[in-house]
Amino acid sequence: MNIGLTGGIACGKSTVADMLVRRGALLVDADRIAREVVMPGTPVLAQVIARFGEDLLLPDGSLHRKMLGERVFGNPEALKDLEGLLHPPIRAAMRERMQTLEAQHPDKLVVVDVPLLYESGLQEQYEQVMVVYVPRAVQLQRLMKRDGIDEEAAVRRLQAQWDIEEKRRLADVLIDNSGTLEETELQVQRFWDERGLS
């Protein structure tokens, strides 16, 4: 049993992932895997440094992720190169972990947290896709508050992803996180009960 978990930036995906894990789901976190594949000494890190520059290595041998982000942001060709280096090993690791967990725990729900699930065309890999949703105006306010950025910067980040309404339309399971935490918990519990996971 598996689901892909996605949403837009600042929609509360991590909050919903935590609620599912507290109920007994097993989590595969794409962001964590993305950090692991560029750990010091990995072949992927060596490829990134060869393509984008030695100055991206910090003194401890780790990747200066913020500087790399600034280097590819607004440069479609550089971003495409970076995705070509990172996406294949990340996707392979995600698939492997999901399959391992499903084999080891056939009675448990495996949740794969993928921020850009639809953008990457990965929806077919999961039995269902759960989208954590808030309206764009709420998303914008939460993003500005969370990251301490102005509206212009927040809008730019939102524009780098699919519109949240499009993700909402495609969702197999929708969790509306624009209300209280209790309201979100109730929706997660309803999903849990409907899947017969209690």
Predicted model pTM:
0.89
Residue carrying the six token digits 């392979």:
92
Outline where the chain has alpha helix (H). 13-22, 30-36, 43-52, 65-72, 76-104, 136-147, 151-159, 164-170, 181-194
User: What is the per-residue pLDDT for 152?
Assistant: 92
Q: Which residues of the chain have pLDDT under 70?
A: none
Token pair listed for 190: 């309803």
